[in-house]
Amino acid sequence: MNLAIIGATGNVGRKTIEVLEKSEIEIENLYLVASKKSAGKKLKFKNKDIIIEELEKYDFSKAKFTIFAAGSEIAKTWAPSAAKKTIVIDNSKYFRMNDEVPLVVAEVNPNDLKNHKNIISNPNCSTIQLMLPLKPLHDKYRIKRVIVSTYQAVSGAGKASVDELFSQTKDYLNEKEIVSKNFSKQMAFNVIPHIDVFVEDGYTKEEWKMENETKKILDKSIGLSATCVRVPVKTSHSESVNIEFENEYDFNTVKKILSKAPGCKVIDDHKDGGYITPLEAEGEYLTYISRIRKDHSNKKALNIWVVADNLLKGAALNTVQIVECLVNDTKK
């Protein structure tokens, strides 16, 4: 089976290569595609040098599956024509709310893949990790409403943003002037309650995405209110989540459900350090759940803390898992 990655030299593209190396997908030929600037350079895959091809000259018919990891403009320009020759799995936001395009979290709604028309969309990174604990809880108790505050790593904004965090931190410690190019305010030693552009009602597009993607993936009847915050962390997003069910629930049953949730691991010891932080989740495939508590203000509500590597489960890993689902389905 042949597979291609568009945007192979970016953060998500490189992570996708790493995940594919560990995957059980049998790849005969891997095609790495990027801009003219990167064409001709080499990246390794399973100890083999692969020459990067130029997007404008690439023949999409060479691969059965093509992972787009290059942003909305590239997806808008190239994915529709590519889908005539290959199955596209797109990491950008461009197709997410298109009714003709499945929006899939591998452990949550893989059956939606049956309806694809050669384009499949990967959800927003902060949405993906939220869906993993919500799905089994919703199956059991029916979720009425979710309130989520995110603490999102700078790697979600690209390599330039990571570099800026490092440079700002260095300048701050050396008492030099702080320059912000990729953030609306100083990022080092600060938090910024603003991710993506603002929309008319005062929310940001990131918050809008979490609300509407949850409805599309899980259940359109679920109410969700999000506050998305950028924090000075390199990798892994964290979320403080309040979940309100339609009826009262059994707390021990909830803990058992979360402990068995696909793709998740509960680490919830009531002692110093008995929880997961972004640093520990970096490089891990699992989505971690900690701080499971009853909401004392509402007998129908629950609080949890959710952490996952935004470049892995939030992007590269989920796209590869989608390919695995498609490959396994053809074997049945």
pLDDT in tens, the chain (332 residues): 999 999 999 989 999 999 999 999 999 999 999 999 999 999 999 999 999 999 999 999 999 999 999 999 999 999 999 999 999 999 999 999 999 999 999 999 999 999 899 999 999 999 999 999 999 999 999 999 999 999 999 999 988 999 999 999 999 999 999 999 999 999 999 999 999 999 999 999 999 999 999 999 999 999 999 999 999 999 999 999 999 999 999 999 999 999 999 999 999 999 999 999 999 999 999 999 999 999 999 999 999 999 999 999 999 999 999 999 999 887 66
Q: What is the pLDDT of residues 43-62, one digit of tens each?
A: 999 999 999 999 999 999 99
Q: Is 237 a known active-site residue? A: yes
CATH homologous superfamily for the domain 2-123+315-331: NAD(P)-binding Rossmann-like Domain (3.40.50.720)
Q: Distance between CA 154 and CA 299 in Å, rounded?
A: 36
Q: Specify burial of residue 197 (Cβ count, 10 A radius: 0-12, 13-18, 19+).
A: exposed
Q: What is the pLDDT of residues 190-199, one digit of tens each?
A: 999 999 999 9
Q: Which residues in 138-166 are b (16+ Cβ under 10 Å) and which e?
A: beebebbbbbbebbbbbbbbeeebbebbe
Of 320, 305, 307, which is closest to residue 21 (Cα–Cα)? 320
pLDDT at position 331: 66
Block residue for tokens 């197709």: 95
Identify the active-site residue in 116, 138, 228, 237.
237
pLDDT at position 329: 80
Q: Is 125 a known active-site residue? A: yes
CATH architecture assignment, domain 127-310: 2-Layer Sandwich (3.30)
Identify the active-site residue in 125, 138, 228, 264.
125
The answer to whether 42 and 34 have CB atoms below 8 angstroms apart is no
Q: Distance between CA 218 and CA 229 in Å, rounded?
A: 23
Mean of per-residue pLDDT scores for the chain? 96
Delimit the domains of the chain by residue range: 2-123+315-331, 127-310
pLDDT at position 332: 61
C-alpha of 9 from chain center: 18
Q: Distance between CA 47 and CA 142 in Å, rounded?
A: 48
